[in-house]
Amino acid sequence: MLRRDILRGARDGVPIGLGYFAVAFSLGITARHAGLTAFQGFLASFLNHASAGEYALFSLIAERAAYWEVAVVIFITNARYLLMSAALSQRFSPETPLLHRPLIGFGITDEIFGLGIAQKGWLSPPYLYSAFLVAALCWSSGTATGIAAGNVLPARAVSALSVAIYGMFLAIIIPPARENRVVAALVPVSFACSFAFSVLPLLSGLSAGMRTILLTVGISALAAALFPVADAKGGGAA
């Protein structure tokens, strides 16, 4: 049972890991611009394993932002994990030792959360641990490789790879936009406001991280006030 869950987790982790490697490689290019070494990139990726959060982290390091700004931006970009964590808390068997809760929590990503929610019955910690380890090692080594090899690639290849992360973001936000009219409206509204903030005087002088915080809190709060969700479950669920 235990061995079967571990093998099953590793198998399900492989396709996730392959996708992670490619995206993390492009993230590594951002990290290299911020001056990180391959080891630092590996460490940051293993500990954070969040595309949007790490992208924000590396951008903030590049602009030598204040430490508190990093804490706030990481909180905002990873806020969706609060919801996933809350959702997973309902899936624990009463007999599962408490120690598994922080360990499973540490491994939450959009995709690992998706695997967990897709399981029938109670969560199997060994299954999620092995899926997470396979995926996270691909993610971390992808970042390290991007930092180490980003400069041997021709500029055109780097340019192409640098949009991978945005492609991944689109793949997360567009499918729910198809299901939900409010989300469908929020995506172009967010695009437009973000563009406006990047060119308007005064606002464009703020750091990218601050602009992200202001826009996210403002637009989301407005949407929540105008269009409360009847049964808000998954958030950024896979």
Partner 1 sequence: MNVYVYILIAAVVSFLIRVLPLTLIRRQITNRFLRSFLYYVPYVTLAVMTFPAIVTAAQYPAAGVAALLVGVVLAWLGAGLFPVAVSCCASVFLAELLLSAL
Does 202 sit near partner 1 (CB under 8 A)? no
User: What's the chain's length in residues?
Assistant: 238
DSSP notation for 146-213: HHHHTTTS-HHHHHHHTTHHHHHHHHHHHHHHHH-HHHHHHHHHHHHHHHHHHHSTTGGGS-HHHHHH
- Write down the least CB distance from residue 197 to partner 1, Å: 8
- Write down the least CB distance from residue 7 to partner 1, Å: 23
Residue 41 has a CB neighbour count (10 Å cut-off) of 28
Contact 207, 201 (CB under 8 A): no
Contact 87, 103 (CB under 8 A): no
Please choose, from the candidates 57, 56, 53, the residue with its C-alpha nearest in 3D space to the C-alpha of residue 78: 53
Does 203 sit near partner 1 (CB under 8 A)? no
CB-based contacts of 29: which residues, under 8 Å, 6+ apart? Answer: 146, 147, 150, 158, 161, 162
Does 82 sit near partner 1 (CB under 8 A)? yes
Does 206 sit near partner 1 (CB under 8 A)? no
In the complex with partner 1, which residue's Cβ is closer, 4 or 160? Answer: 160
Taking CB under 8 A as the criterion, the residue among 27, 128, 147, 165 binding partner 1 is: 165
- What's the half-sphere exposure (Cβ side, CA atoms, 13 Å) at 166? 7
Hey, which residues between 218 and 237 contact partner 1 (CB under 8 A)? 219-221, 223-225, 227-229, 232-233, 235-236
Does 164 sit near partner 1 (CB under 8 A)? yes
1-9, 11-19, 130-138, 145-153 -> range binding partner 1 (CB under 8 A) = 11-19
Taking CB under 8 A as the criterion, the residue among 108, 135, 136, 144 binding partner 1 is: 108
Does 162 sit near partner 1 (CB under 8 A)? yes
In the complex with partner 1, which residue's Cβ is closer, 5 or 104? Answer: 104
Taking CB under 8 A as the criterion, the residue among 145, 169, 203, 206 binding partner 1 is: 169
DSSP reduced 3-state for 219: helix
Hey, which residues between 117 and 136 contact partner 1 (CB under 8 A)? none
